[in-house]
Amino acid sequence: MIRPAELIKRKRDGEELPADELAELVLGYARGEVPDYQMAAFCMAVFFRGLSPGETFALTDAMIRSGETIDLGAALGRKVVDKHSTGGVGDKTSLSVAPIVAACGVPLGKMSGRGLGHTGGTLDKLESIPGFRTELTLDEFIAQMRDVGVAIIGQTGDLVPADKLLYGLRDVTATVDQRSLIASSIMSKKLAGGAQAIVLDVKVGNGAFMQTIEDARELAETMIEIGENAGREVVCLLTDMDQPLGAAVGNALEVREALDTVRGHGPADFTELVLDACAKLLALSDLGIDEAEGRRRAEAAVADGSAEVTWRRWLEAQGGTADESALPTAPVVHELTAPIAGYVSKLSAIDIGNAAVHLGAGRRTKDDQIDHAVGIVVRAKRGDRVDVGQTLAEVHARTEDEARFGAGEVLAAYEISDVAPPERPVLLEVVS
């Protein structure tokens, strides 16, 4: 029997832990034999000391072994793809990518998580849809994949339960943004979930866990190595998160924007990233096509309405309503206007994300309840020219006081200058 305090001490002092001892710590935590406070201390030791490649793979493997696994390819007789993001502000990409890819004839199955700090969680967004079920049994998951071609579910008690526990613990112990912990968390879900080809969206910038392109590249390489060790194809997109993605930040607001994008009317930067991800996923699929053809087919699915049809079938299959008018709306909408004229030289993603959390769109503690209606819609982004009195953003709030406070936080996220900033594409680099 391991002694958690001894492992914490050894990791704190910079030792590399044997795979079997690290695995036993994780599995013991999943069984309830290791308390939260000891696992939190271990995560903090890892935060400062890091994990070796061997330890990272051992952690990932242990989290997978803490529950069941599924082979979607064998269950469906098809090559199944998956897409995941490291988390960002306004990042609702999976909501649009999934139905577009499925409409192109490629099954996409995904296990997702909830919000971590200032980043929104895919499950939180989906749960703003009345009736939507994020918890499906494995049989239901497979049946829906076979029938609709797409399913996004939460981590059940049967699939990577150790990661589900750690995911919530890291959120409230300031140990989220550590490369090995991020890589293990993401890849444990991907590998246990059974997809054979995976596109990972690694966010870079002040609203991301990875602040620099070098850190993002290292995270991408770590996840690719884990995937290769498990026999999976993995491609990483390094994408900009110095400003929010798209316009909407907040759960129901982001669902509306995702649907707009599926219909072909989304914000330009968000639409570009969605189509880039779709092209990569379709090229990795069993269709036998390249990226250029993948993008053409994705654009066609949006244009002919088949992507929206798949969106509606997907939502209804998981118990949700496909009527967007049923999405919750905030009782107060406050328009924030530009105090001076000029170019938006900066729109801080993390400041917008934190403002959304303070409105109630995210969690500050593990047990916080999400307000699905509130959030922010940014109307002016980096590089845009604004005049005095022009709308910069809308603050969707529960009360007038919260709206005014949120507007002050949003205004502080903006910098307006006389000179237009240099252009920065949403897709910065591809690592494969």
Helix (H), strand (E), coil (C) string for 164-195: HHHHHHHHCCCCCCCHHHHHHHHHHHHHHHCC
What pTM did the predictor assign?
Answer: 0.89
To the nearest 10°, the Cα dihedral for 203, 208, 209, 212? Answer: 70
**Which residues does the chain have with pLDDT short of 70?**
1, 115-119, 156, 364-367
- pLDDT at position 363: 75
User: Is 170 tagged catalytic?
Assistant: yes
Task: Tell me the torsion sign for CA atoms 276, 280, 286, 289.
Answer: positive
Q: Residue 276: helix, strand or coil by DSSP? A: helix
Question: Cα 56–273–221 angle (5° rounding)?
Answer: 20
Q: Is 32 left (phi over 0), alpha (psi -120 to 50) or beta?
A: left
- pLDDT at position 117: 61
User: Is 96 tagged catalytic?
Assistant: no
Distances (CA, A) of 246 to 131, 404, 413: 26, 23, 16
Chain-centroid distance of CA 59 in Å reads 21
The enclosing H or E element of 45 equals helix 36-49
- pLDDT at position 115: 65
The enclosing H or E element of 385 equals strand 385-386
- CA dist., res. 293 & res. 364, Å (int): 43
- pLDDT at position 58: 94
User: Is 396 tagged catalytic?
Assistant: no
- CA dist., res. 305 & res. 300, Å (int): 8
- CA dist., res. 265 & res. 35, Å (int): 48
Q: Which of 78, 83, 84, 114 is catalytic?
A: 84
- pLDDT at position 290: 97
User: Is 189 tagged catalytic?
Assistant: yes
- pLDDT at position 372: 95
- CA dist., res. 64 & res. 381, Å (int): 40
Q: How many other CB atoms are found less than 10 A from the CB of residue 88?
A: 29
Q: Which of 170, 313, 363, 396 is catalytic?
A: 170
Q: Which of 11, 78, 125, 189 is catalytic?
A: 189
One-letter amino acid of 139: D
What does the DSSP assignment read for 202-243? EEESTTSSB-SHHHHHHHHHHHHHHHHHTT-EEEEEEEE-SS
- CA dist., res. 69 & res. 84, Å (int): 18
User: Is 83 tagged catalytic?
Assistant: no
Q: Which of 66, 96, 128, 185 is catalytic?
A: 185
334, 399 Cβ separation under 8 angstroms: no
For 84-111, give the secondary structure using H, E and C.
EECCCCCCCHHHHHHHHHHHCCCCEEEE
- CA dist., res. 256 & res. 262, Å (int): 10
Q: Which of 163, 177, 201, 260 is catalytic?
A: 163
74, 138 Cβ separation under 8 angstroms: no
- pLDDT at position 66: 93
DSSP state of 68: B
Q: Is 194 left (phi over 0), alpha (psi -120 to 50) or beta?
A: left
Q: End-to-end distance of the chain based on CA atoms, in angstroms?
A: 40
Q: pLDDT tens, 227-262?
A: 998 899 999 999 999 999 999 999 999 999 999 999
- CA dist., res. 255 & res. 249, Å (int): 10
Residue 81 is encoded by which pair of tokens? 């793809």
The enclosing H or E element of 201 equals strand 197-204
Please name the residues in contact with 110: beta carbons below 8 A apart, sequence gap of 6 or more. Answer: 82, 83, 84, 94, 98, 122, 151, 152, 153, 193, 195
